[in-house]
Amino acid sequence: MTTVLTYGTFDLFHIGHVRLLERLADLGDELVVGVSTDEFNAVKGKSTIIPYEHRAEIVSAIKHVTTVIPENGWEQKRQDVIDHGVDIFAMGADWKGKFDELSDLCEIHYLERTDGISSTKLKEQLADPAALDLDRVRHALDTLQQVVDNYSTLR
């Protein structure tokens, strides 16, 4: 059994998140996802639109995700690897090299993100309604609705 661990904020959940989680799940049998708490995001200088509890629930609804844990700080990663018996620690390529110190405990993978979409870009578009691509917003909302609908049928 291979366990994969990743972390993220997962604000404004979008297709890039889905694709990343699918690719992470393909690396192993179990996928543990640490979702950044609102308090930890504040420490990182980030703000979210969706509160932690909702983001964690959305991520837990993804069929590829086995377990969701709160990400409370930078220092917890080593202990999470140990506690969850992690074989592969994986993050987006924008974090390349930042977590190599965990290589004494598990394999480290950095995956490319989905081109053309990010929560940051979505926030920028929302802040400038003139630049808003309504078709993309509708698509993102449809995708989120599908996730919610699928989650509801599983419960």
Tokens 């995956």, residue located: 111
- Write down the catalytic residue from 44, 63, 96, 98: 44
Are 73 and 63 a contacting pair, CB within 8 Å? no
Q: How far is CA 18 from CA 74, 79, 154, in A?
A: 24, 26, 18
Q: Whole-angstrom Cα distance, residue 130 to residue 139? A: 18
Q: Whole-angstrom Cα distance, residue 107 to residue 89? A: 6
User: Is 46 a residue of the active site?
Assistant: yes
Residue 69, beta-bridge partner list: 34
User: Is 98 a residue of the active site?
Assistant: no
Q: Which residues participate in catalysis according to the annotation?
A: 44, 46
